[in-house]
Chains A and B, each alone.
Chain A
Amino acid sequence: MPTRRLRRSKIRLSNATYLGTSIYKILQELDFVEYGECSPTENARLLQEGSVDVSLIPVTDFAAHGGYVGLDYGLACQCSSQALYLCAHQSPQYLETVYVYEGAGASRHLLQVLLKERWKCSPRMVRVNEPIVLSSMGPKEGALILEHSQLPSRSVLPVQEDLVAVWDSVVAKPVVFLVWAVRPGVLSLRQLEQLRDQLQRGCAAVEPLVRDMAPKFGLSIEQCHKFWSQNYQYYLSAATLEGLNVFFERVARHRLLPKAQYRSATRTLFERRSYGLIRERPLSEVLDAVLDGERLGIHDAVRICRQASLADAGMVADLCRRKLHPTRALREVLFLDPHEGRDLEDAVEAVKSARQRDIRDVLILPTQLSNLEWYEGLLDRLSQSGPLFIEGFTIPQLLQLADKSGLSLSAVVRRLATKGLACVTSYGAGMLTERGLKRRRSTIPLPVWLDSMRSVMGSGVGLSGMMSLNARESWEERLCHLNTIRTLQDEYPSFLNFAIEYLPSRRISMPVSEARLRAYIISRLFLDNVNCLSERTLGAEAFGGVLNLSFGADEVVLSVGPSSIETAAESAQALSQLGMEFRRRSGLRGEQQLLT
């Protein structure tokens, strides 16, 4: 993990916008601090992308990264929270769906652990952007609410479980929700000392906070002070950190997060080790753990990309592939670019001749966008020729269709899905970081991308994920993108496949390099919840494509145009000479006959 060797004159620091963390506003008084505030999940993203140096992040993001050190301050809770509730009509063990408030970070994972361990169930978790209407929930539905962020009262539902209290009853330890995190080596020792002193001063001055809190809890100022000091902690003592490590151990056990341990930036009197150094596991141990099913953290993933030998990492990626797919698959996809100006019958004819070659997968990527009704008609016509697996449209195109038709994105997707659309492509979303999108001149901001992807995934259609490999991004940035994909997939398991996109421009050449192979390797190792890693460049770059099949990819996607259906047969023939076993696969019908 790169540490910032050249120290900035000002440290960029981001506090959380919660009322409970307003005591940390005192940090803006430090002359070396450039202060800002965001939601904790946004803070985590900013810290990952290197846009801030120190930030207050959910502990789950601390674990997911694995390369941060903590300042021993944050926000923890013991005994009860009086704010974080799971509400339902009946006991949580009967729940099938739980709606989760937007911005839930550590609380979502806490709920998942408790559902598995306490209530022995794993309901579907659905993140909602709007306030949850508790009164309209069904008997098998529940909602995770942070009471102050929700308008309706929780009292409309009979079951209200304070998650902190439940956790306390299970493990008798406090819950840490937020922690101040920093990359090792960013702060000088003097800055670290000053920052900690200021954090300490902030924690001592909770009076203004209690005055604001008291009416919200319906308590007097004295009662609120007592409750707050008994239940909430800002300084993370050894006992609290023990609770945090227990939490980390439980979430890793359920494969919700990578295995992690809290690491403090503080040096004790007897510890000579610099705070900038993290004791790292040997890479062979990390690779072995991944093969045994452990989740990979960002920090270790970056180490694998930078330091592991290609043979070691490639071997483990291949073994992971073999566990999921003993034989590789070949999927032939008919590529169509239909729009109103062209004869709809041409597309229908192309699909018919593709069907004669047993090609059932169709990719629709219009270069000129028509209106929604026209595409509904097209999908209808194509579906009449027999069952097809239709993948198509990019998210910007769907947004445009939504804009034209005055509908919401999810309404557009649902209408297309009823006509046969099975999967949406993620062209354009090859690097879901702010810098990555800026570099690709995307006019759609990152939050809109993410919300749109969630809308598509929540509408019941699949999504094909991708990472576009560009020379300007670091491995850390690429891992941030992969982490976003993994997190989205955890929330809505809708990514049907994942591919590495590499389109060399006229001015930039990048031959098959270790970096490209490593991108495949790390995608296979990191995206443990995405089943299929596709190789889509075989037609254009045969050698690179063939190699990728040895380094984690399990599926070859051969894209054929209406006039080049026969060439797919030649490519399939060439693949059969590689000494690898292939099965013909369709998105529609799963695997078919063995080719070799």
Chain B
Amino acid sequence: MGKLARLGIFGGMKLPVEGVIGAGTRELSPFARKNLGRYGLARIGERLIERVPLSTQDIESLYSSAPLPVLMKLVEYCRPVQVREPQPLLVLPVAEWLKRHSHTDIVELSTSKLQSVPYPRLSVVVDAGGDKEGQIEGALLPEIAAACPGHQINFLRGEDFVSLLLASRVRLEKGPTTKNFLAPIVAELRTQQVDPYAPGAQPALVRAYAERGMAASVFTNLAAFKSSASLARELFRLHELSLDQAIELWVPSYETKTRRPEPAHIKGARDYQLLRLLAVGSLALPHIPYRNASTRYFSLDAVPLARLCGANDLGFGAVDDFSARVMRIEHLERLQRSLAQASSREPVEVPPLPAQLFPEA
């Protein structure tokens, strides 16, 4: 038997092989077995290695009592190799502009905005057009795209964040799209008395996606589950659903109807709970290939740690203040810097970015 390498490259860093445990490991290391055993979690670790689905009790026990480092350790055995880094996103409210500006002015305004963005591959969200739908899709958007030959633009149509997340997946498969594909699905479900925006997984919604040849994205709204038992049941149900239907993306989220600003300690506690949900979901949902950690729900501080909790889709980062405000996500540059800083095992000095990165259009 030849010599084994002692060092490996992982996450851009040279590390001893012992610190790099990837997916595909067939057994728990003695260190992991011994220490997981101290928490009474060695059996769950074994089950994860053997790809045996976690039971509701397992999920509940992990969510309610396993410390975060232990969840991270278990996630190491199931961590996906592919990671989608955050993508740039710009919002162009063209339908709104059409009420006040001429077609030529909007093309010019949009083009100058797009050209100021330093990312060649860019997702652009345009608002719903109403009676101007035809003008926007047929003339305006192609003209804007043609005026920016250096950019590979992917126009997204959607009224909400769910469609946006899904659209980011769809474009990989089908190329640029401006079609508002979610609207007919939502309309159809509503006729069947199904609320597509209910907090848990909606089998009808997932089926509707599948019928149209699309993979679904599913949200788990932490705010909607009051106990760890109900959350465990939901994740188990979602796992069973993912066995029958293709679910592309799972998004641990936190949405409430109140929009009041939250105190810092509440936000901090929520970030922590979301990280735990993400880690447990990463373990409980092995058939969903992508786990999202968007700055819409996770703070800038939490996103880097979300990677260690199993997130492999870091969503979008806004390229201007307007997009950040409208989509309620962080600036791409801030997000990238936070990721770079936090992945360093040495603290790094970084002067803060200015509050407003780009001038308003």
Chain A residues with CB under 8 Å of chain B are 282-284, 287-288, 291, 305-319, 469-472, 474-475, 507-516, 518, 538-547, 550-551, 570-571, 574-575, 577-579
Contact A511 B268 (CB under 8 A): no
Contact across chains for A471 and B349 when beta carbons are under 8 A apart: yes
**Contact in complex: B301, A578 (CB < 8 Å):** no
Query: Cβ of A288 and Cβ of B301 under 8 Å apart?
Result: no
Interface of B is mostly: helix
Q: Among the listed stretches B63-71, B144-152, B234-242, B313-321, which one makes contact with chain A, having 4 or more residues with CB under 8 Å of it?
A: B63-71
Docked Cα-Cα span, A543 to B65, in Å, equals 19
Q: Is the CB of A543 within 8 A of B341?
A: no
How near does chain B come to A302, taking the closest CB pair, in angstroms? 11
Known: A314-B72, A574-B265. Contact between A515 and B345, CB under 8 A?
yes
B29 within 8 Å of A by Cβ?
A: yes
Tell me the B residues contacting A by CB distance below 8 Å. 15-16, 18-21, 29-31, 34-35, 38, 64-65, 67-70, 72-73, 75-76, 228, 263-269, 271-273, 299-302, 304-305, 308, 338, 341-352
Q: How far is the CB of B16 from chain A (nearest CB, A)?
A: 6
Given contacts A547-B305, A578-B269, contact A282 B72 (CB under 8 A): no
Residues on the B chain within 8 Å of A310, using CB: 69, 72, 308
15 A-B pairs (CB sep. < 8 Å): A287-B31, A309-B21, A310-B72, A471-B349, A472-B349, A510-B341, A514-B304, A515-B347, A540-B264, A543-B267, A543-B272, A543-B299, A545-B268, A574-B266, A578-B272
Tell me whether A307 and B16 are in contact (CB under 8 A): yes
- Cβ–Cβ contact A542 & B348, under 8 A: no
Residues of B within 8 A of A545 (CB): 268
Query: A307-B19, A550-B68 given as contacts; is B349 within 8 A of A508 (CB)?
Result: yes
Closest chain A residue to B68, Cβ basis: A550
Contact among B19, B67, B73, B269 for A574, CB-based, below 8 A: B269
Check B351–A546 contact: CB distance below 8 A. no
Q: Evaluate whether A515 and B70 lie within 8 angstroms (CB atoms) in the complex, with A538-B265, A543-B271 already known.
A: no
The CA-CA distance from A312 to B308 in the complex, in Å, is 12
A-B Cβ contacts below 8 A, count: 162
A541 near B268: Cβ-Cβ < 8 Å: yes
Q: Which of B30, B75, B342, B351 is in CB contact (< 8 Å) with A513?
A: B342
Q: How far is the CA of A544 from the CA of B70 in the complex (A)?
A: 18
A575 to B268, CA, bound (A): 10
Evaluate contact between A309 and B269: CB separation under 8 angstroms.
no
Min CB gap A317→B, angstroms: 7
User: Which of A313, A538, A544, A550 is B67 in contact with, Cβ under 8 Å?
Assistant: A550
Given the known A-B contacts A310-B72, A317-B69, A547-B305, are A513 and B341 also in contact in the complex, defined by CB atoms under 8 Å? Answer: yes
* Distance A577 CA – B262 CA, assembled complex (angstroms): 15
Chain B nearest CB, measured from A541 CB (Å): 7
Given contacts A311-B70, A311-B75, A311-B308, 5 further A-B contacts (CB under 8 A): A311-B73, A314-B68, A318-B70, A513-B348, A542-B269
Closest residue of chain A to B268 (Cβ to Cβ) is A542
Query: Once the chains bind, are A579 and B64 in contact (CB under 8 Å)?
Result: yes
Q: Which residues of A contact B228 (CB under 8 A)?
A: 579
A550, B69: Cα distance in complex, Å: 7
CA A538 to CA B268, docked complex, whole Å: 9
Q: Nearest 3 A-B pairs (CB), nearest first? A: A542-B268, A314-B69, A311-B72
Q: Are A543 and B38 CB-contacts (below 8 A) given A284-B18, A284-B29?
A: no
Given contacts A319-B35, A545-B268, A546-B268, contact A507 B68 (CB under 8 A): no
Q: Is the CB of A306 within 8 A of B269?
A: no
